Structure formats: C-alpha cells, structure tokens
C-alpha cells in the first residue's frame, strides 16, 4: 500500500513476484502468471508513465490522483483510471496470493469478517457471487469502510474503490479474462472457487 503515497509516478517500477511463476499451480498456471505479470502488468506501468510524462502529474503519487480522479482533465483521468488503476490493482493483487495459504484468516480479521457477514463462509459466498456477477472486465473487492465494517464491492475495468471513496481495499480479485482464460477458458466460476486456495490471509490482515 505504501506506493500510494511514497512513490511518484515517474519512479514506479514493476514489482517482482514474491513466489515462483509456477508456485500457484494447479490453481493458477505458470503461463497465466507469466503473461499476467510480465505482459499485462508491465503494460499498464509503461502506458501510465508514457501517458503522463509530459504533464505535471508525473510528479504525483497514485494516492492523490485516485482520490481526485473525477476532477482531473479528461485525458489524464482516462490514463489514471485505466493504467494507474491497472498498475496499482495488480500490485496489490500479487500480494494477495500465496502458495502457502492458511485457508482461513488470522483471528482479528476473522472476527471482523464474522461481525460484518455473520460467518466466514457467508462472506465467501457474498464475495464469490459478486465476483462472478461482474459484467465483462473488472474486479471484486473487500473494503473497510469509515465505520470499520467490511463491505464487498465491485468495479469495472481497472477502477478501484479508492477512486470511488468506497473504503480501504484489503482483498481483491481480478476477473478480467486475461486473469483466467488460459487455465479456465470461459469458466470464471472455477477460477473464483480456486482463488480461495491461494489467498494470503496474513497480508490481507496486515492492511486493516
């Protein structure tokens, strides 16, 4: 999350994965991780920096641009929503994944989930339903709102909750076809189901 406020757009780099490209198999394949990280994520970074290089916004950080995105000039707004969102959403997503998933959250996070959704299984059902219901390309998110309650929200394309003032994201799932089509073809439901096998709950809990 630190890159939201500590790194200028011009200084952003493509982060290395914290695990081997094949480490999430059979849930997410080596081929998918390679293309997703090396091509798609790298592409968002390149287009973000190229698009803003001749503007004053290249000296800004993503946090400030996300918070005022709707008031930015139209051309800048498009770059920030599409490529700024694409860069940061994926930066967060990689940290959400782990080949050593604990399958259940730490106690403090689990208690917060239970208070917001009645049970962990109920939360998973709500998140799964929302992720599966995204029309076309987008993301599903678990956010902490201003009342310290958890909500599940979705965004289209590369938008994220920070752009819409919906809360602080602590869990996300990419449901663009590029995230799963090599492995699951059009079976998004199986991709979402297997996502639960590789969630890095310790990282999620650290964001609260």
Known binding-site positions for Mn(2+): 36, 90, 174, 178
CB 103 within 8 A of CB 194: no
Tell the residue number behind the tokens 């860069």, with chain if given: 87
Binding-site positions read 36, 90, 174, 178
CA-based max dimension of the chain: 50
Q: Please give the C-alpha separations between residue 165 and each of 81, 93, 168, 175, in angstroms, as whole numbers.
A: 14, 19, 8, 21
With CA atoms as reference, report the closest residue to 204 among 163, 161, 172.
Answer: 172
How far is 110 from 170, CA to CA, in rounded Å? Answer: 13
């Amino acid at each position: 999350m630190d890159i939201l406020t500590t790194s200028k757009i011009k200084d952003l780099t493509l982060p290395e994965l914290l695990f081997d490209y094949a480490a999430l198999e059979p849930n997410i394949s080596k081929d998918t991780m390679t293309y997703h990280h090396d091509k798609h994520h790298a592409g968002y970074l390149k287009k973000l920096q190229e698009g803003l290089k001749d503007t004053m916004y290249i000296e800004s950080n993503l946090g400030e641009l996300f918070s005022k995105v709707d008031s930015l000039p139209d051309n800048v707004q498009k770059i920030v929503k599409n490529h700024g969102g694409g860069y940061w959403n994926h930066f967060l997503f990689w940290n959400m994944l782990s080949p050593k998933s604990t399958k259940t959250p730490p106690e403090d996070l689990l208690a917060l989930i239970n208070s917001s959704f009645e049970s962990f299984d109920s939360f998973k059902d709500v998140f799964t339903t929302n992720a599966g219901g995204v029309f076309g390309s987008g993301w599903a998110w678990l956010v902490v709102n201003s009342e310290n309650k958890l909500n599940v929200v979705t965004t289209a394309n590369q938008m994220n909750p920070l752009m819409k003032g919906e809360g602080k994201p602590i869990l996300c799932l990419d449901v663009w076809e590029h995230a799963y089509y090599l492995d699951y073809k059009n079976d998004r439901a199986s991709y979402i189901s297997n996502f639960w096998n590789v969630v890095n709950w310790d990282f999620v809990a650290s964001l609260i």
